[in-house]
Structure 1
């Protein structure tokens, strides 16, 4: 543990240090990243996208009144091909019947003109353009509540606004690995449209909840393993980057264990079961025993690498140490920043939280609930077993047992 706070010469170095030592989320308000590609309006950027790409783009579409008895899982969404300019035009006459979004799109797939100038050097992280993701969506587009098993998340709000509801890692939400997506642990609670039971359960979490509204040019830092539910307030474009961390390697090992367990459950099941249990982006990622155990062995050897080799060099990725300063040391660095630059995301007032939940609960409809339950392709027994053996605490225990027993 450092005895004195180190001196950081540049603002970018200070921000980098604060991000890597974040224990609670914080926002940099009106913090312009000065990215050349976004000096134009959203309409101009979308028009340039259409010109450069010269083909229709596949958007996700979700009925706002369909499937609200569960979160808006990806398996429930349909697709629609259109240009980005057509997407914007639809928003002029949009109702609350459905939302449309480009979610989790890789920046590396964009033509250079559409990502010119994007880097995170103002925050102390450079050369990250191709590792970023962009999210373009309409009002009410939402990401079900989850936490990311890897990295610390930087989110830049480029256009429009988004609502972020966050919970600390120890919050007693109902973890589920159905749908299974590598690196994402979802909860079963539906914050978009809670039913009466969920409304009561979520209300009881009032002492855990944080919230912020991201405006244009705001930058949000989401610490490792913080739960978050994200919903667009209006047409929104945001960019995010997950900072690789040293402890991600053990998380990758645990995610490999989950992959082995989940895929063994679905291999003997029907196609309908596979589509229900696996997120759409995982359907073509099922590995053979030989392949997946090679991955497990590779990760194990990287974890057990001799200490003389820097952890940050493992797996050919630059990985960063995390939370290596104590809170007193980080406070000293915060005091060196310009006044008002950094804003801590604060706990939500109980009355405001309950009001938001009740407002969202008005979206819930029971019209299709019975049919949805009848169409569920797996039994509650199988669902409970999958979520039990893949629970984070159980997987952590398996990892420790494996390390005791396996000596190559």
Structure 2
């Protein structure tokens, strides 16, 4: 699951205002020992990524990451040698208790080495559960393994904390959601992953339970849909985009696109969320959601609290003085609130987004090698329905539902109604009308 720690970093900035500065990215790519053609190509790709209206793939694209020129087995062995300790993986049964999406609250944990993880995938029982090392910060890798991993080949030489790696077994999946912040670059290093994507306005059933800052989930279970879900989801056939991401492929996911991701093999991928200028308004809206969610949580018992909050949010509850100071800070730095003082801007390098029209983007593609950029197209209706029906076969194998609903229906409905994206948007607009900082 994606946890961006935005409120933690903002709160730190507020407490250290004298240290806040804006990191300005100069659109000049400095690449040692590269040709002008490579620099121009990287800058062109940067523009295409920042102006993407729909997902696209760069097939067999060389990122020039030397530590991934070895095999996955060698990489895992080197990881084990460098850490000299067991690593905590998430474990999820695939044939029981899965009548809802594979929410993080239902997963167990198991400690093992990465080499032991690979060995488990060779066993006949491997399909009974999936094992994943999900959403791990790249800068937490041993130094010997993350040196030289950057996105300069795509025009992003800036270094941020938004790079992550994902090592997982077949069937490991991320419940369908969209990210409120940033544009996503995904590099498939080893193995394959299936990406099912939908445009931002697709009417999937939004939910803020489980609550995770910057992730808006949907209630539909794409891993193992029941009959009713298959019938409902089949209506979106004209909006469904699918990409099988192979090793060395790069996928660009534009802002707010829904996506359900499932590993087809043992898989290792690395992603980077590009901070965008218009993320600031999203941060303010997420701050409003956080305030509302915390009001519900504070009046809830432990079982309800564990049901409402994603596990990675349990330690992120803030007191009133801090969370309202963050809201004030975001208001002062939003583009709707007038001129900004440089010293109060967020301490990030944010990029302009969708500043070129589609015709200009088409002209940019002409400057790149033929076939480099592959825009995804909607799935054929038959292919989409076949995928849904194939996944629905898993539902028939589910023996029990191990998750007890810890929240009564009226409270569940009220939380999702109050925190619905359209409602939060209206609250933000009303807040701007009423509050002048």
What interval of TM-score do these two structures reach, taking the shorter chain for normalisation? over 0.9
Shift of 1:112: 1.2
Alignment root-mean-square deviation, CA: 1.6
Q: Distance in 1 between matches of 2:90 and 2:40?
A: 42
Q: Are residue 190 (structure 1) and residue 221 (structure 2) matched? A: yes
- Mapping of 1:134-145 within 5 angstroms? 134-145=165-176
Report the CA distance shift for 1:51/1:325 in structure 2 as closer, same or farther (over 3 A). same
Partners of 1:50 and 1:191 in 2: how far apart?
A: 34
Deviations 1:266-286 (A, max 9, x none): 111111111101000001111
2:405 to 376, 379, 382: 376
Query: Does structure 1 residue 391 correspond to structure 2 residue 423?
Result: no
Task: Give the Å deviation of 1:317.
Answer: 0.5
SS at match of 1:362: helix
How much has 1:309 moved relative to structure 2? 5.6
Q: Which residue does the alignment assign to 1:67?
A: 97
Runs ≥4 residues deviating over 3 A: 304-311
Is there any run of 5+ residues in structure 1 with no aligned partner, and where? 1-7
Greater mean deviation of Cα atoms: 181-190 or 130-139: 130-139
Instruction: Indicate if the aligned counterparts of 1:145 and 1:230 stay in contact, CA closer than 8 A.
Output: yes
Q: Take 1:237 and 1:219, find their aligned partners in 2: how far apart are those partners?
A: 13
2:107 paired residue among 53, 77, 89 = 77
Confirm or deny that 1:174 pairs with 2:205.
Answer: yes
Deviation string 1:8-40 (CA, Å, 9 cap, x unpaired) is 970000000000000000000000101011111
Shift of 1:367: 3.4
CA contact (8 A) 1:119 1:129 kept: no
Q: Taking structure 2 as the reference length, what is the TM-score of the superposition? A: 0.88
Summarize deviations over 1:116-139 as a string: whole Å, max 9, x none. 210101000013365310000000
Q: Distance in 2 between matches of 1:406 and 1:308?
A: 16
Residues matched between the structures, number: 397
Within the candidate set 60, 68, 71, 1:30 is matched to 60
- Give a deviation string over 1:246-268, Cα, whole Å, max 9, x none: 00000000000000111110111
Aligned to 1:56: 86
TM-score (norm 1): 0.95
SS of 2:57's equivalent in the other structure is strand
Task: Show the counterpart of 2:28.
Answer: none
Which deviates more, 62-71 or 299-308?
Answer: 299-308
User: Cα gap change, 1:289/1:308 in structure 2, threshold over 3 Å: closer, same or farther?
Assistant: closer
Asked whether the equivalents of residues 92 and 108 of structure 2 are also in contact (C-alpha less than 8 Å), the reply is yes
After superposition, residues 56-135 of structure 1 pair within 5 angstroms as: 56-93=86-123, 94-128=125-159, 130-135=161-166
Corresponding residue of 2:15: none
| Unpaired stretches in structure 2, ≥5 consecutive residues | 1-36
C-alpha distance 308-284 of structure 1, shift in aligned 2 (>3 A): closer
